[in-house]
Amino acid sequence: MTKQTLKVVKIGGNVINNEEALFSFLKDFADLDGPKILVHGGGRKATEVSSAMGLEPKMINGRRVTDEATVEVVTMVYAGLLNKKIVAQLQKNNCNALGLSGADANCILAHKRIVKDVDYGFAGDVDAINSEIIDVLLQNNVTPVFCAITHDKNGQLLNTNADTIASEVAIGMSELYNTELNFVFELKGVLESINDKDSVITEINSEKYKQLIAAGIIADGMLPKMHNCFNALEEGVSKVKIGDASLVKKSTKLYTTLSL
């Protein structure tokens, strides 16, 4: 039997920080046919609330360290405010959304990142996706909306990378579905030249990927993002697309498709 196609769409700060852009994106997302899952990152609000609460951001090697007070703030902002705002907006657009953290129905089990040189605090690394209960929701026409909070099954909530959650959910669901992973970010796709916002490389396979890294076209922040995408493809995800917020519109033709 042919598997149904499931779309897993990830949005980040660039869409979330602008309410108008977010609501417009959510309208397009609500209009997508078939089973789908939304994964959202954080955004500016967590920083606002943190500083209102008198917390100083702690960084080690350019990475945020999540202490106990910070994991409380991100749980409030990501799992509370952002998640429920998104869910309420999708409901308005007749998409039967249901917001989830990894703790809910044990959907995403993680562990606190192992301390090697640096203790990143309550940062989660994903161990397992509970595809069975996610499938129950999908089969009842519910659209799961994941925030980037997981748990360790021992009562501890963990701040987790939203790109990782999106790819792990897509991988976890790929036994049951033909999964397509969409990453929405600030550009129209992977660019040939950073100075030309329309110079989108429309197709990248494993070989081209290596060439683009060697040529320095894929560099810096794009490296872990692309690594995450190719890892998802190797682990069973059928297709990965990268583009801006118009990626979920049926009319959009300019984006990057990744394949093995």
CB 228 within 8 A of CB 237: no
Q: Which tokens go with 111? A: 């562990």
Residue 236 is labelled as binding a ligand: no
Q: What CA–CA distance (Å, rounded) separates 165 from 178?
A: 18
Q: Which tokens go with 49? A: 């609330």
Residue 99 is labelled as binding a ligand: no
Q: Which is nearer to a second copy, 83 or 164 (CB)?
A: 83
Smallest distance, a second copy to C-beta of residue 26, A:
9
Q: Which is nearer to a second copy, 110 or 181 (CB)?
A: 110
Q: Which is nearer to a second copy, 83 or 174 (CB)?
A: 83
Q: What CA–CA distance (Å, rounded) separates 7 from 26?
A: 14
Residue 113 is labelled as binding a ligand: no
Closest Cα to residue 83, out of 136, 6, 166, 149?
149
Q: Which is nearer to a second copy, 50 or 256 (CB)?
A: 50
Smallest distance, a second copy to C-beta of residue 77, A:
6
Residue 64 is labelled as binding a ligand: yes
Report strand pairing: 203-204 vs 157-159.
Answer: unpaired
Which amino acid is it at 145? V
Q: Which is nearer to a second copy, 39 or 218 (CB)?
A: 39
Smallest distance, a second copy to C-beta of residue 89, A:
5
Smallest distance, a second copy to C-beta of residue 18, A:
16
Give the relative orientation of helices 222-234 and 206-214 as an angle to the nearest 10 degrees.
160
Which amino acid is it at 80? G
Neighbouring C-alpha atoms within 13 Å toward the C-beta of 69: 11
Across the strands, what pairs with 97? 143
User: Interface residues with a second copy (CB under 8 A)?
Assistant: 23, 49, 52-54, 72, 75-81, 83-85, 87-89, 91-92, 96-101, 103-106, 133, 136, 140, 142, 149, 151, 153-157
Smallest distance, a second copy to C-beta of residue 78, A:
7
Known binding-site residues for substrate equal: 42-43, 64, 159
